Amino acid sequence: MDARECRQPPGLLRPVIDRNRCEGKGDCVAVCPHDVFLVGTLPANRRQELSLFGKLRGYAHGWQQAFTPNADACRACGHCVKACPERAITLVRTRHNGRHDASLAAD
Ligand code: SF4
């Protein structure tokens, strides 16, 4: 994907992954021009947060999911949102009154 399509400065929005939907297919990794994503294994202690359907889905896919270690680089082009076949990604605002939302900082 062309990074020139990303017009927002980094740090305003970031992708959040619905853990009950993600199947770790990696389309987000492929399309993101700013290397925000990687696919890895959902840790065992985070699997308990999932719904029953999410657990079944996670088990079926070897607990592979997308993560956002480089979320601060997101420039809100929306390519990942469109590319995800499971509709698991949404873009959310990271700042409220100039502060980062700490609840989103560890994904
Ligand atoms: S919107 Fe998605 S594809 Fe675009 S920069 Fe952000 S994380 Fe990458």
pLDDT for 1-33, tens place per residue? 565 566 678 889 999 999 999 999 999 999 999
Q: Is the pLDDT of residue 102 over 80?
A: no
> In this structure, is residue 42 part of a structural domain?
yes
Structural domain range at position 34: 16-93
> In this structure, is residue 57 part of a structural domain?
yes
> In this structure, is residue 62 part of a structural domain?
yes
**Binding site membership of 77 for ligand 1 (Cβ less than 6 Å):** yes
**Binding site membership of 10 for ligand 1 (Cβ less than 6 Å):** no
pTM reported for the whole predicted model? 0.84
- Ligand 1 center–CA 21 separation, angstroms: 18
> In this structure, is residue 107 part of a structural domain?
no
Rounded CA separation 28/46 (Å): 21
Q: Residue 6: what pLDDT?
A: 65
Rounded CA separation 61/9 (Å): 34
> By three-state DSSP, how is residue 40 classified?
strand
CATH number at 44 reads: 3.30.70.20
pLDDT band for position 56 (50/70/90)? very high
If one counts the domains in the chain, the total is 1
- Ligand 1 center–CA 35 separation, angstroms: 8
> In this structure, is residue 51 part of a structural domain?
yes
> In this structure, is residue 8 part of a structural domain?
no
**Binding site membership of 79 for ligand 1 (Cβ less than 6 Å):** yes
